[in-house]
Amino acid sequence: MSAIVNSAAYSGGRRAKTIEIADISEVLKQPDLFVWIGLHEPSEELLQQVQEEFCLHDLAIEDAHSAHQRPKLEAYGDSLFIVLRTAQENRAQQCIDFGETHFFIGKNYLVSVRHGSSLSYAAVRARCETMPDLLRKGPGFALYALMDSIVDQYFPVVDAMEQKLEKLEEKIFGEPASRKTTEEIYHLKRELLEIKRAVSPLIDICNRLVRFDLAIIPEDTRPYFRDVYDHALRINEMVDNLRELLTSALEANLSLISISQNDVSRRFAGWAAIIGIPTMIAGIYGMNFDFMPELGWKYGYFVVLAATLGVCAFLYYRFKRSGWI
Q: Are 31 and 104 in contact (CB under 8 A)?
A: no
Where are the extended beta strands (E) located within the chain? 4-11, 14-18, 34-40, 72-76, 79-90, 95-106, 109-116
Given pLDDT bands bounded at 50, 70 and 90, which one contains residue 1? Answer: very low
Residue 216: is its pLDDT beyond 80? no
**What's the alpha-carbon Rg for the chain, to the nearest Å?**
35
Per-residue pLDDT reduced to its tens digit, 89-145: 887 777 788 888 999 998 888 999 988 777 778 888 889 888 888 888 888 889 999
**Mean pLDDT score, 275-286:** 77
How does residue 289 score in pLDDT terms, banded at 50, 70 and 90?
low
Higher-pLDDT residue of 142 and 31 is 142
CB 49 within 8 A of CB 37: no
| Higher-confidence position of 189 and 216 | 189
Q: Centre a 10 Å sphere on the Cβ of residue 293 and count the other Cβ atoms it contains.
A: 7
Residue 212 pLDDT? 64
Alpha-carbon distances, residue 120 vs 3, 36, 128, 276, 292 (angstroms): 12, 15, 14, 73, 94
Contact partners, residue 210, CB within 8 Å, separation at least 6 = 222, 223, 225, 226, 229
Tens digit of pLDDT for each residue in 253-270?
A: 777 777 676 666 777 777
- Whether residue 218 is predicted with pLDDT greater than 80 in this model: the reply is no
Q: What is the mean pLDDT of the chain?
A: 82
Asked if residue 13 lies in contact with residue 136, where contact means CB atoms within 8 angstroms, the answer is yes
Please say whether the beta carbons of 104 and 111 come within 8 A: yes
Q: Return the DSSP state at 176.
A: -
What domains are defined for the chain? Answer: 1-132 (3.30.460.20), 262-322 (1.20.58.340)
Q: Which of these, 29, 32, 31, 4, lies nearest to 18 by C-alpha position? A: 4
Is residue 4 pLDDT above 70, yes or no?
A: yes
Residue 229, exposed/middle/buried by CB under 10 A (0-12, 13-18, 19+)?
Answer: buried
Residues above pLDDT 70, as percent of the chain: 92
- Asked if 23 and 54 touch (Cβ cutoff 8 Å), the reply is no
pTM, 2 dp: 0.76
> What is the dihedral sign for C-alpha 65, 70, 71, 77?
negative
